[in-house]
Amino acid sequence: MRRWFALSAIGRDRPGIVADLAELIYECDCNLEDSRMTILGTEFAVLLLLSASGDDAERRLSAGCKRLEWEKRLTVFFRPLEGGEPHSGAPPAGRVMECTVSGVDKAGIVARVARVLADDRVNIVDLETQSRPEAESGTPIYTMRIRMAVPNDVDPRRIRERLDQVAEDLRVDVTVTPAS
């Protein structure tokens, strides 16, 4: 019977982290089904979806993760997933839309936008943020990109209106468009 696991890891960015994790997965007779990996500041962060057929995959993964933590100075967490095969790669339910927010960096941008979306049962499928200094003044400009699934019974105009209010309050720009 196939089992599924979520694994996350974070550690100081360096060459070889992906190789270390891929070797662990291979040595534990697991298959890498889906992944997201990125550098955040000086840290490399990974979120993986694994599958395995063997009865002792959980035990092997646990031992392998502890070894990586000790030998490679990574913080590794994994857990088995319940409920059968995950829907990796399946399109989210609802209309897929994209939202972009940009403006001078300030506290509350993600919290306010995420709350508007949550209140309308919008599922955030992917979210990426960054703060970069403006070329001329050095002012930190915050950009957030969201890929989201809007339930079919929710009017996207309502979401746009509520996001426009947040944009006005925070003095940022917000766009909402159908996903490409």
Which of 142, 151, 138 is CA-nearest to residue 173?
Answer: 142
The reply to whether 116 and 170 lie within a common domain is yes
| Contact of 34 with 89, CB cutoff 8 Å | yes
The reply to whether 76 and 139 lie within a common domain is no
Last residue of a domain, one of 23, 45, 80: 80
Domain count, the chain: 2
Residue 168 has pLDDT above 80, yes or no: yes
Expressed as residue numbers, the domain containing 138 is 95-178
Mean pLDDT in residue range 135-150: 95
Residue 87 has pLDDT above 80, yes or no: no
Q: What is the pLDDT of residue 88?
A: 55
Residue 85 has pLDDT above 90, yes or no: no
Rounded Cα distance, 65 and 5, in Å = 13
Q: What is the pLDDT of residue 118?
A: 97
Residue 72 has pLDDT above 90, yes or no: yes
Rounded Cα distance, 146 and 126, in Å = 6
Residue 62 has pLDDT above 70, yes or no: yes
Q: What is the pLDDT of residue 90?
A: 63
Torsion angles phi and psi, residue 86, rounded to 5: -70, 160
- With residue 80 as reference, give the H or E element that holds it: strand 75-80
Beta bridge partners of 12: 43
Residue 82 has pLDDT above 90, yes or no: no
| Contact of 48 with 25, CB cutoff 8 Å | yes
Rounded Cα distance, 153 and 94, in Å = 9
The reply to whether 118 and 151 lie within a common domain is yes
124 located within any domain: yes
85 located within any domain: no
The pLDDT mean for the chain works out to 93
117 located within any domain: yes
- Confidence band, pLDDT 50/70/90 cuts, at residue 55: confident
For 113, the 3-state DSSP assignment is: helix
88 located within any domain: no
87 located within any domain: no
What's the predicted TM-score (pTM) here? 0.82
Share of the chain above pLDDT 70, in %: 97
Beta bridge partners of 79: 6
Q: What is the pLDDT of residue 92?
A: 72
For 1, the 3-state DSSP assignment is: coil
Q: What is the pLDDT of residue 176?
A: 96
- Confidence band, pLDDT 50/70/90 cuts, at residue 86: confident
| Contact of 154 with 122, CB cutoff 8 Å | yes
